[in-house]
Chain A
Amino acid sequence: MEAFISSTLFFLTNDPDEETIQLKTMELFAPLPQLFTSGITFGAIYALVGLGFVTIAKASQMINFAQGEFVMLGGMLTFFLFKEIQLPYLLSAFLTIPLVMLIGCLLHLLVIYPLRKASLPILLMATLGASLFLSSASALLFGTLPKALPPFINRPPIDIGPISISLQSLWVVGATCLVLLFLYLLSHRTLLGKAMEASSTDPLGADLSGISRHLMIFIAFGVSAGMGSLAGIFITPIFYVSYHSGTLIGLKGFIAAILGGWGKHSGAILGGFVLGVVESLSVAFMPSGYKDAIAFVVLLLILYLKPKGILGSPFIDSRRW
C-alpha cells in the first residue's frame, strides 16, 4: 500500500509531463499479463482444494478443516517415495493418491464418525486437532525442510508474446479440468453420487430410502483426500511444500469455494480462478507481504455483501446456518 501511495504522490508532486506519466503507467501495467497467467495457475490449485471441501459438503454439510493437510501430505509423500525410497516418479505419484485416500478414510473412521452426534464447535475443534496432528506428524516423519519435486516434463517454458507459461501450470489447469469432469460424472451420472447428495440435502429421507449416510460421508472423505493429494502432487514442482503450508492452502481453497457459491462444483472452480487472479494481480499494486491478507479480505467482503457467492449456493439459509 505504501508503495502505491508513494507512487501516486510521485505523480502529483513532479511536473505532470504526459510522457513520464505514460511511461510510469506502462511500468505499472507491464507485468499484468504475466501476473494474470500465474494467477490462473494459483486459481487452479485453489479450485482443486475447494472441490475437496465441496465434495464433503455435498455429502454431509460439514467442513473438514484438515483438507489442506491432504495437499501437504500429497506433496510430502510423493517426495518421500521418489527421493528416499527412489521409486520412479510416476509410480510414486500413483502410490501417493491411494495412501492419502486411506488417511482420509482413517480420519473419518477415527475422528468424524465417533463425533457424529457432536455439536458444531466440537466437530470444528476435532478437525482442527486432526490438522495439527497431521502437519506435526509429517514434520516428524519427513523433516521440517521445505521440499520441491522436479517438473513432470523438463522443458523450457512456452513464450507467447510478453508472457511465458511453464508447462507445469498447464498440467495443473488440465488436472483441475479432469477432476471437475470426474466429479460431474460422479454426481450426475452415478447412483453413488446421487446418494451422496441426498444424504446431505435430506438426511431423514436418505435414511428412509436405505442410504447409509455414514458410508456416504466415508466415501466422500476418501474422494476429497484423493483430490487434495492430487493437488499436492501437481503443485509441489511449482512451489516448495513444507509441513505447515497445508493450513493456508486449505483455508484459501475454502474461501474459493465460498466465493464461487458454497456447495457447487462450478462455484469452487470459478471462485478458485477469481481468487487466484485477484491475489496475484494485487502484487502489482501492493507490497507482496499483504498477499496473504487479500484472500481473507475477499472472504469478509463476499460474506458481508453476498453470502451466497457468485453463482448462488444451494446450502446457505438451510438448516445448519
Chain B
Amino acid sequence: MVDQAQKEFRTRDLLYSIALWFLSWLIPDPQLHYRREYKFKKRDLFYLSAVLVFPLIWPDPHIHHLMVLAGIHGILALGLTLFLGYAGQISLGQAAFFGVGAYTTAVLTTRYGLPSFLAFWASAIMAAIFALLIGKPLLKLKGYFLALATLGFGEIFLVLVRENASLTGGVIGIFNIPFFSFAGFTFDTYLKQYYLIWGVLTGLVLFSKNLVRSKMGRACLAVASSEEGASALGIDVAWIKLGVFTVGAAFAGLAGSLFASVMSTANPETFSLNLSVLIVMMVVLGGMGNLYGPIAGAIFLTVLIDRLSRYQEYSLPLYGVILILLLIFFPDGIGTRLRVRLIYLISYFGRKKRREKVNL
C-alpha cells in the first residue's frame, strides 16, 4: 500500500520539484563535495551575472564601497574556508597575513616605487613565505591550541609593526598608497574598484573550485575527518595541512594588497584580533565545507556591521548579541540551515497529502 502510494506519479510533485530546482540555484549545497563531480552549472552563471549586474542596477557609491569591502572580506574568508572548512583546522591569525600583504604593497609602492601590479603578486608570495615559516612548527597543534598559537602569531605581528616605525610607520601607518593600476588603467572610482575586487574574487573561486577537486582537496577532506585514517591511506598529513595553510595565507596576502591599494592606507589597528574573529565568523556563518557560503557570510556580516554602525555606541554590544544568537540558531551556517528548512517546508505539503491518502 505504502509502496504503491510512493510510486504513483502526481502532477503536483512537479510543482514541488520546480521550487526545489529554483532553490538549488540560489543556495549552495554543502554536501556537494562528495555527491558529484563539479561541472560549471547554471547556479555559477547566476552568481556571476548577479555580481556583474549588481552595481549597474544599484548605482549608489556607498553601496559600491560596501561591496568592495565585502569582496575583500570574501577573499579572506575564501582563503580561510580552505583551511577551516575543508581541512578542519582553525586559525585566528588570518588578519596577520592580511597585514603582511597590505604592508608589503604599501612599502613596495611608496618606498621603492614598484608598480602596484607587481606589488600585488609580491604580497601574495610574502604572505605565503610567512605562512610556510610559521606553519611548519605550529601545525603540529590541534583545536584550541592551534587557535591560540595562530592568535599569538597575530599579536606578535602587530607588536612588530608598531615597534618598527622606520619600516611600517608605527602606530600611524602608511598613507598615500597609489591606487591599483594595470597597463595604464587606474582603478580610482568605487565602481572600478568593485569590478577589480570581484574579478579577483571570481578568479580565486575558480582556483579554489579546482583545488578542492584536486588530489590535495580530497586529501584535505580526509585529514579533516580523521588524521590517523588519512595518514594510514598514505597521505602526508603535515604537508597537506601546511599546503592549505599557505594557500589560505596567500589569498589573505592578495586581499591585503587590494585593501592597501583601495583604501590607500595601512595602519595596525585594521589587522587586530577583531578582524581574525570576523573572518572565522564569516566562514562559520556561511557554512563550512562549501565555497560560496563564506562569500555570502562576508557580504552578510559586512552589511550587518554597516547597518549597525548607525546605532553608534550601541553597535558593538548589539553585534555581539547578534553573533551569539546566529551561532546558537544556525550552528552549521545560515545557508545550510535555511536550505534544510526550506526543503522541509516545501516537501511538507506534499508529504501531508500523501499521508492522508495512505491512512485512508
Point out residues on A near B: beta carbons under 8 Å: 62-63, 110-111, 114-115, 118-122, 124-126, 128-130, 132-134, 136-137, 139-140, 247, 251, 254-255, 258, 287, 289-290, 292-293, 296-297, 299-300, 303-304, 307, 320-321
- Do B324 and A289 touch across chains, with their CB atoms under 8 A apart? no
Which of A128, A139, A299 contacts B152, CB < 8 Å?
A: A299
**B141 touching A128, Cβ below 8 Å:** no
Q: Pick the contact of A122 from B151, B155, B277, B284 — CB < 8 Å?
A: B284
Contact A121 B84 (CB under 8 A): yes
Q: Which residues of B contact A111 (CB under 8 A)?
A: 324, 328
A-binding residues in B (CB < 8 A): 84, 90, 137-138, 140-145, 147-149, 151-153, 155-156, 159-160, 162-163, 273-274, 277, 280-281, 284, 288, 313-314, 316-317, 319-321, 323-324, 327-328, 331
**In the assembly, what is the distance between CA of A134 and CA of B320, in Å?**
8
Kindly list the 8 A-B residue pairs having the minimum CB-CB distance in the complex, ordered from nearest.
Answer: A133-B320, A136-B316, A296-B152, A293-B159, A321-B143, A129-B323, A132-B320, A321-B142
* CB-defined A-B contacts under 8 Å, sample of 9: A115-B331, A120-B90, A122-B327, A124-B90, A134-B320, A139-B313, A290-B163, A299-B152, A304-B140
Chain A residues whose C-beta falls within 8 Å of the C-beta of B274 in the assembled complex: 132
| A320, B141: Cα distance in complex, Å | 11
Q: How far is it, in angstroms, between the C-alpha of A129 and the C-alpha of B274 when the chains are bound? A: 10
Asked whether, in the complex, the Cβ of A140 is within 8 Å of the Cβ of B317, the reply is yes
Q: Which residue of A lies closest to B155 (CB)?
A: A296
Which chain A residue shows the least CB distance to B85?
A121
| B143 proximity list for chain A (CB < 8 A) | 120, 320-321
CB distance from A188 to the nearest CB of B (A): 26
Write the nearest CB–CB distance from B95 to chain A, whole angstroms.
Answer: 13
A128 to B152, CA, bound (A): 15
List chain B residues, Cβ under 8 A from A126. 324, 327-328
* Residue of chain A at shortest CB distance from B272: A247
| Main secondary structure on A side of the interface with B | helix
Flag if B138 contacts A129 (CB, 8 Å). no
- CB-CB under 8 A from A129, the residues of chain B are 277, 281, 320, 323-324, 327
Cα A125 to Cα B324 in complex, Å, equals: 8
* Residue contact B137 to A304, C-beta cutoff 8 Å: yes
Chain B residues near A251 (CB-CB < 8 A): 148, 151, 155
Query: In the assembled complex, which residues on chain B have CB atoms less than 8 Å from the CB atom of A320?
Result: 143
**Bound CA span A122–B327, Å:** 7
| Beyond A132-B274, A292-B159, A321-B142, 15 extra complex contacts between A and B, CB < 8 Å | A111-B324, A115-B331, A122-B284, A126-B324, A129-B327, A133-B321, A139-B316, A255-B148, A258-B145, A258-B148, A299-B149, A300-B138, A300-B153, A307-B141, A321-B144
Q: Report yes or no: A130 in contact with B163, Cβ–Cβ below 8 A.
A: no
